[in-house]
Amino acid sequence: MDYRIEKDTMGEVSVPNGKYWGAQTQRSLENFKIGIEKMPKEIISAFAFLKKAAAIANNKLEILDDIKCEAILKACDDILENRLDDNFPLVVWQTGSGTQTNMNINEVIANKAIEHMGKDFRVEKLVHPNDDVNKSQSSNDTYPTAMKIAFVLEIQRHLIPSIIKLKYTLEEKSVEFKDIIKIGRTHLQDATPLTLGQEISAYVEMLNKALLQIEDCMKYLVELAIGGTAVGTGINCHKEFSNLVCLSLNELTKTKYPFTSHPNKFHALTSHDSEVMLSGVLNALASNLMKIANDIRWLASGPRCGIGELNIPENEPGSSIMPGKVNPTQSEAMTMVAVQVMGNHTAVSISASQGNFELNVFKPVIAYNILQSIKLLSDSILSFNDKCAIGIEPNLKNIEKYLNDSLMLVTALNPYIGYEKAALIAKNAHKNGTSLKQEAINLGILTKEEFEKYVKPEEMTYPKMY
């Protein structure tokens, strides 16, 4: 590979020709050969939006000239339009402030901007990564700002639409199945009846709550650290810079959730409680998705030797040895995602606790885990909806059989004959392998007519007067 020489404050370093990064990016590549987890593309795009907004703000404040500003804006657009994707090679496991990724962005933008000015960046350094691209900024305020921009945009673009899509599917199923009476289950044991629509309505409410909780998080995620610079004081930064950057970001990203300047930059640099709040909401969503997926795979278990109250789409062969076997693969995928998100939340929580004095230096791992959680949840919800939930159908034969076989229908007799007599009927029916009706008659507790008057499964799915 052909190399060129780049310089920084620590001296010279060889950088591959054909790449726009500079000396600081190269040093990071050489010093942090750890893992395979690259800085997420969403962070790179968020940085491009931020650097573009910062250039516009500095130009309005008359501290960045028109020519450099225009060149920087074009370079940022190159990043946003995916023309420079192979210029961001750094791993997550680097400096905890994200300094090297900030400088990777600065160097690529600076060198590409020089090209946009018609010059050779290897010869003429007309745009400086620190003095021009990073003007009025520090890694300590740009990285947490880019994190939040990425979170907000990914949630808005992907997670919320996925949740809404699955919610609508389940709402339709809840209405469609509202009159199908089935046996309930608590403690994995038979319980009193409910409708299949009622059972599914719980899943709809879980997703409604997730959407409301996400909206609550957004109030804090839109508060940006930019303008705090090194420790929160705003040194080397114009007092109007932060507000101008936020205004430009809102125009550039067209976000539904407008970004604002964080009211306390000291808090913004050292504390990531809003990120923990978001991760907690993702964790709660994962917990509920685990429940939904597990319910559906148990209800669809069988097809002949399980519960089998639901039929789900048969998408692919389920076994390399058992012919004809089909597995609940979408449920399995989503439950694995849920486990990963729960683990990510632990990592985020511990990382956010490591804000020492004026700076938290676990920012890249916070960003990586939250973005992975958002991505996995968005994708798995969409997949589960399209490949499973839409195709759910009731197995009416099994539903009716389990309903009629259940001993817990005896609960309807409590108001009329009392708990102890009702329990005696159920125990005798279980012991003798008979029906509730037969044992109620055999024990002389009820007549056939009385039993049929009191035990009506369709009337056990809602409160009523005795």
187 noted as active-site residue: yes
Give the DSSP H/E element, type plus range, for residue 144.
helix 139-154
Whether residue 97 is annotated as binding a ligand: the answer is yes
Residue from 14, 28, 45, 187 carrying the catalytic annotation: 187
Q: What is the 3-state secondary structure (H, E, C) of 17-43?
A: CCCCCCHHHHHHHHHCCCCCCECCHHH
Q: How far apart are CA 257 and CA 222, in angstroms?
A: 7
Whether residue 140 is annotated as binding a ligand: the answer is yes
Alpha helices in 237-387 (DSSP H): 241-253, 265-270, 273-299, 329-352, 363-387
Q: Across 267-394, where does the E strand assignment appear?
A: 310-311, 355-356, 359-360, 393-394
Whether residue 326 is annotated as binding a ligand: the answer is yes
Whether residue 320 is annotated as binding a ligand: the answer is yes
Fill in the DSSP letter of residue 91: B
Whether residue 130 is annotated as binding a ligand: the answer is yes
Tell me if 105 sits within 8 A of 24, measured CB to CB.
Answer: no
Amino acid code (one letter) for 135: K
Whether residue 99 is annotated as binding a ligand: the answer is yes
Residue from 319, 353, 373, 435 carrying the catalytic annotation: 319
Judging by beta carbons within 10 Å of its beta carbon (0-12, 13-18, 19+), is residue 465 exposed, middle or buried?
exposed
- CA distances 307 to 180, 190, 244, 406, Å, are 16, 12, 60, 13
Whether residue 129 is annotated as binding a ligand: the answer is yes
Amino acid code (one letter) for 28: S
48 closest CA partner among 242, 243, 252: 252
Whether residue 434 is annotated as binding a ligand: the answer is no
Q: How far apart are CA 119 and CA 110, in angstroms?
A: 12
Q: How far apart are CA 301 and CA 360, in angstroms?
A: 48
CA angle 276/237/109 to nearest 5° reads 80
Whether residue 161 is annotated as binding a ligand: the answer is no
Amino acid code (one letter) for 246: C
Whether residue 327 is annotated as binding a ligand: the answer is yes
CA 175 from chain centre, in angstroms, equals: 27
Whether residue 258 is annotated as binding a ligand: the answer is no
430 noted as active-site residue: no
Q: How far apart are CA 452 and CA 457, in angstroms?
A: 10
Whether residue 430 is annotated as binding a ligand: the answer is no
Whether residue 131 is annotated as binding a ligand: the answer is yes
Q: Residues marked as binding for substrate?
A: 97-99, 128-131, 138-140, 186, 320, 325-327
Q: Residues marked as binding?
A: 97-99, 128-131, 138-140, 186, 320, 325-327
The catalytic residue positions are 187, 319
